[in-house]
Amino acid sequence: MRQTAAWTLVLALGVALGWALAPRAPTTAPAQRTMPLAEVAPSQAQMARMSEPRQELARLLEAFAFAEAAQYLQTTRRRLDRAEGAELRALFTAQALALQQRGETLRAVALLKAYLSVEHDDIDALALLAQCRVQLGDHAGALEALYAARGFAAQVEQQALFTQRIRALVPQYRARLESRADHEALAAMFADLITLEPDYAPYRIGLAQAQLALGDVAAAEATLQSAGQTSALDAQLASLRAQLDGGSGGESVGASVALQPAGEHFLVEAVLNGRRKLTLLLDTGASLTLISAAALRDAGLWPQYDSERMRLQTANGPIDVALLQVETLSLGTQTVADLQVGAWELDTPHGFDGLLGVDFLNRFDYVVDRRSAQLRFMAKTP
């Protein structure tokens, strides 16, 4: 009866972990590492020997003593047969799944990491770990787990299903990094993926695109040459090189502004209404440019008692700002006229006068070149 219960639990987990496998996978597919059910019932001696390890392991897992539980599994399985060992292993994935479903995803990850330290080739556990990491926003960790699962999968169908999941996850990770204009992280992501899958040409094209966004044309050309088939990106390569070299003839083509590193962020010098110099924190996640009340006062623009107000969400909670229109805001030779900004009435951190948001930046095509600390502007494409 215990063997039958163990197999029921394994099959139930296989269904629950269907996230990592395509819906077309047969629900009765055999687990990779478990043994077929014995044709005879377990002996009394086997059942007595099985009950104590199971109870002890369950106690450790319920106490969240995950490292101790993994160590206990490693030492105990040596005196159990393979079917009994499978029953103990199933306790780990069952507990991790229960934690995930209760919203305790961090604990589920901790449990799975401890378990995989001794059972590194359990593809069901790796698939569940990938799912948990996606929920936590750790796409890199999820991809690492999926590639590991694919490497341990013995059946061609399983390998194909893990590949399908990887292909679906990479664009999600890429979109997340692109939304932050973090081209350095994009380049690092594709470089890691090329290491894992060197013959997959789209990863090399993605790396070249990130290198182009960073202004490193030579590196992009080398990457594209290694990809073999590069015709799909030749036009983009030529277009961006022309933009960076000032070849398209527009006023703002090739213009750049120096950035000053400030921790993980950058500061940039700006000029308000052609007179007041500002130091702004570059924030590609801010929808509205904010200027401190002190700087606006120096420029003769504050206070304005009849200003419309807007509530903004910030990392420190919501703030109310007054809206006003400035004649011009300039970064180097790049100028935006009649820009609506927010008055930052609270004390600003030392060293800058506000935030430069995408309401200014999106008037141009631009690249934040973190490697050379430059904000590069290009002609706005139609």
Q: Which positions ≥6 away from 374 have C-beta within 8 Å?
A: 215, 256, 257, 258, 259
Residue 238: the pLDDT is 52
Strand 317-331, strand 334-344: pairing: antiparallel
In terms of pLDDT, which residue wins out, 19 or 375? 375
Q: Which pLDDT value is given to residue 117?
A: 95
pLDDT above 90 for 351:
no
pLDDT band at 374 (very low <50, low <70, confident <90, very high): confident
Q: What is the model's pLDDT at position 334?
A: 86
Q: Which two tokens stand for residue 216?
A: 């490193």
**pLDDT, mean of residues 213-238:** 65
- Which range scores top for mean pLDDT: 116-120, 344-348, 369-373? 116-120
Percent of the chain with pLDDT over 70: 74
pLDDT averaged over every residue in the chain: 77
Better-scored residue on pLDDT, 67 or 299: 67
Query: What is residue 8's predicted lDDT score, i.e. its pLDDT?
Result: 41
Return the closest-CA partner of residue 335 out of 244, 261, 259, 255. 255
How far apart CA 212 and CA 208 sit, in angstroms, is 6
**pLDDT band of 102, cuts 50, 70, 90:** very high
What does the DSSP assignment read for 199-257?
A: T-HHHHHHHHHHHHHTT-HHHHHHHHHHHS--HHHHHHHHHHHHHHTTTT--TTTT-EE
321's tokens = 């700002």
| pLDDT score of 209 | 80
User: Which tops the pLDDT comparison, 286 or 39?
Assistant: 286
- The predicted-structure confidence for 3-26, as pLDDT tens digits, reads as follows 444 434 433 444 334 444 444 333
pLDDT digits (tens, 9 = 90+) for 121-139: 999 999 999 999 999 999 9
Give pLDDT tens digits for 162-187. Answer: 999 998 999 989 888 887 778 888 89
Interstrand relation of 256-258 and 354-356 (parallel, antiparallel or unpaired):
unpaired
Residue 150 has pLDDT above 70, yes or no: yes
pLDDT at 46: 44
Which range scores top for mean pLDDT: 9-23, 133-147, 368-382?
133-147
pLDDT in tens, 68-99: 999 999 888 778 777 888 888 899 999 999 99
